[in-house]
Amino acid sequence: MGVAIRLLLLPLMAVAFCGYGVAGRSHFHKKPPRGGSSGGRHRGGKEGSVVSSPAVPPADDDTQPVPPPPVGIVPSDPATPVQPAEPCVFDVRAYGAIGDGSTDDTQAFREAWKSACAADAAVLLVPSDGTFTITTTTFSGPCKPGLVFQVDGVLMPPDGPDCWPASDNRRQWVVFSNLDGLTLRGAGTIEGNGEEWWNLPCKPHRGPNGSTLRGPCDSPTLVRFFMSRNLVVEGLRVENSPEFHFRFDGCSDVRVDGLYISSPANSPNTDGIHVENTERVGIYNSRISNGDDCISIGTGSYDVDIQNITCGPGHGISIGSLGVHNSQACVSNVTVRNAVIRNSDNGLRIKTWQGGMGAVSGIAFADVVMENVRNCIIVDQYYCLDKRCMNQSTAVHVTDVSYANVRGSYDTRSAPIHFACSDTVPCTNITMSEVELLPASGELVDDPFCWSAYGTQQTLTIPPVTCLQDGLPEALLDNPDLKCR
C-alpha cells in the first residue's frame, strides 16, 4: 500500500517514517493525534569498533572436506553484502514537543519513548533546532533491541529548585532503568541548570584553611542508569549538573566514550562519572572539569578500564569513598591509563572510612601526567568530611595497588605522595616504578608520608618513597572481614 493511500486512511494522524527505501522495512507507526508529521533518519553518532576475526589456520592433509549447505540454504554472495535495515526515527516534535526552552515537553518525551521502546532498532530523536525542558522522568524497559536516545539539540531540567515540581524526585532527573542495549549519544548538549542548586545554604562549600562549611542536601543527579546492561554513552556535551553528572548503579557492560563534561571548579558534589555496583565498564576519550571527582568508583565495582581521560579542575580520579557507616565495600580490577590531570585538588586517590570492611584490590595506575596537582598520589583510610570522626579498629583493606610512569608537577602545599593507612588493617603490596613528581613552583617537597603502608619501589622514584615497609603484617592473614567475592 503506497504512502498516499495510507495518509488518506489516516487523515488525523501523523506518520513516522521508518526505513524508507530499504527492502522489507517500509512500515508506519501511529503517533498521538496532537503531533504533527515528522520524519528523519539517524544523524550523528560514531561508528562502532571493528573486531577482526583471527586468521583461519590451514587445513591438515587429512581434514575432511566441508559438506555443502543443506538444500534450500544459499550462501551469501560476499560481493553484495546484505544492507542493515535503517532505524525507525521517533522525533519528539512529532509527539508535541515544542523545544522553545520554556515549555514543559515531558509528556511528549514520554510518549515518544513509549513508541520507540516498542520498535526494533528505534531512534528517539531530540532534534538539533530546539531546547527541550523536561521534569523528572524514568525511561524504563524492557525495550526492543537496538534502541538509541539521540540528543542533537539541548535537553535540560527546570531552572533550579524553585522551578522544580513539588511532586518530583529531588534526587534524580533523567533515569534509564531496566534496559538492555541502550545507546545514549548525539552532537547536542545536556544542560543541568545547576547554579541555583549549588547555592543552597545546606550545600557543602569550601571554607577557610581547607575547611568545609555546611552539609549535603537533596539535589538531583543529572543522568542515572539503573539495573541495565550493554550500555553505550558517547559523544555528548554535559554541563552544570546540580549534583553528579552521570551515575551508573547496578549495571554491567558499559562503554562511555567521547564525552565532554563541564561544571565550575567550585560547584559542590558535581562528580563527572560515578560507578557503583557495576561491572565491566570502559570509560574512554573524555574531558571532565568539575567541582568534585572527575571519575569516582564506588563499592561493588569490578573490571573498570579508564583510558585517555583529561581531568581538571576537580578532585581527580577516586576510588571511594568506601566503608561509610561501618559497611562492607569491595572494589577490584580497576585500571587507569593514559590520563592527564590538571590543576586538581587530588590526582589518583583511594579513600575509605574507618570502621568499614572488605577490600580494594587489583588497582593499576599507569602513564599518568600531573600538572600542578595537590595530593598527586594519595591513599586515605581516615577519610572524614568534617575531620571529627572517631578512630575505629576496622577498615577496608587496600592491597595490590601499582603506580607506573606517573610524572608531572605538584602544588607544594602538600607532599605529592601520601599513604595514610589503618593501624589494624595496613595497606599492602603497593608498588611504584617510574614515578617522577616535581614542584610546579617553589622548593622541592621531598618527604612523602607513609603510615602503616607496605610495598616496594621497583625503580627509584622522585621524590624517593623510602617510608614504605617491607613484607606483609601478620594481622592481615586469614581475616574474614577483608574478604570480598
Residue with the three cell numbers 511528549:
108
Q: How many CA atoms lie within 13 A of 393 on its CB side?
A: 3
C-alpha of 483 from chain center: 27
Instruction: Assess contact for 331 and 354: CB atoms under 8 A.
Output: no
Alpha-carbon distance of 153 to 190, in angstroms, equals: 8
Alpha-carbon distance of 304 to 273, in angstroms, equals: 12
Q: Which grid cell is 433?
A: 616504578
Neighbours of 90 (CB within 10 A): 27
Alpha-carbon distance of 440 to 416, in angstroms, equals: 11
**Which of 274, 315, 397, 418 is labelled catalytic?**
315
Q: One-letter amino acid identity for 82?
A: V
Q: One-letter amino acid identity for 430?
A: I
- Backbone angles phi and psi of 482, in degrees to 5: -100, 0
Q: How many CA atoms lie within 13 A of 297 on its CB side?
A: 30
- Torsion 101-107-113-115 (CA) sign: negative
Q: How many CA atoms lie within 13 A of 307 on its CB side?
A: 4
Annotation marks residue 274 as catalytic:
no
Q: Annotated catalytic sites, by residue?
A: 315
